[in-house]
Amino acid sequence: MPLYESVLIARQDVSTTQVDDLVANFQNVITENGGSVGKTEIWGLRTLAYKIKKNRKGHYVLMNLDAPSDAVLEMERQMRINEDILRYMTLRVDEHETEPSAIVRNKGSEDRPRGRGRFDRDEGGEGRPSAGRPSSEPAAATETPTVEAAPAEAAAPAEVATPVEGEAS
């Protein structure tokens, strides 16, 4: 059977239990039509790049599917009907990834606060000037590579052809 990855975005108003119910409903559709659902990752409530149907955030879910195309078409049909689903995308893939997706791996780094002031703080509490601002500390001496210039050759005066009398130009 063909392999698929399906990502859906649910409205920000629905609770996480309702998202779990939606995912369970779509998994039932796949299994009833002869397929199976491998890995399901709920990425949580994330900010959208732009507003979709007046929503700024959405619950993201990834599902790895091993199902016939008819099962995937039925699942997508039900996603179109459901008013809690903002967007969905299903792609056919050659093989499923066995390790967690990049979103799950990087989820911990998203929770850290980002520097937004004039100085970013490192772990020691020392402030560093942001990029583009002059530093009060002397810059480390760096050697600039020297470029050897090619010897200048004496330029010969260009010969100008003068027309000879009697020749047609």
Domain ranges of the chain: 3-95
Give pLDDT, residue 97: 82
- Is the pLDDT higher at 159 or at 9? 9
Query: What's the fold here for domain 3-95?
Result: Alpha-Beta Plaits (3.30.70)
CB 7 within 8 A of CB 88: yes
Instruction: Compute the average pLDDT of residues 104-120.
Output: 62
Mean pLDDT of the chain: 79
Give pLDDT, residue 42: 92
Give pLDDT, residue 99: 78
Give pLDDT, residue 146: 56
pTM beyond cutoff 0.75: no
Percentage of residues in the chain with pLDDT exceeding 70? 63
Q: Residue 24 pLDDT more than 70?
A: yes
At 164, is the pLDDT very low, low, confident or very high (cuts 50, 70, 90)?
A: low
DSSP 33: T
Q: Most confidently modeled of 51-60, 140-149, 150-159?
A: 51-60
Cα 66 from chain centre:
25
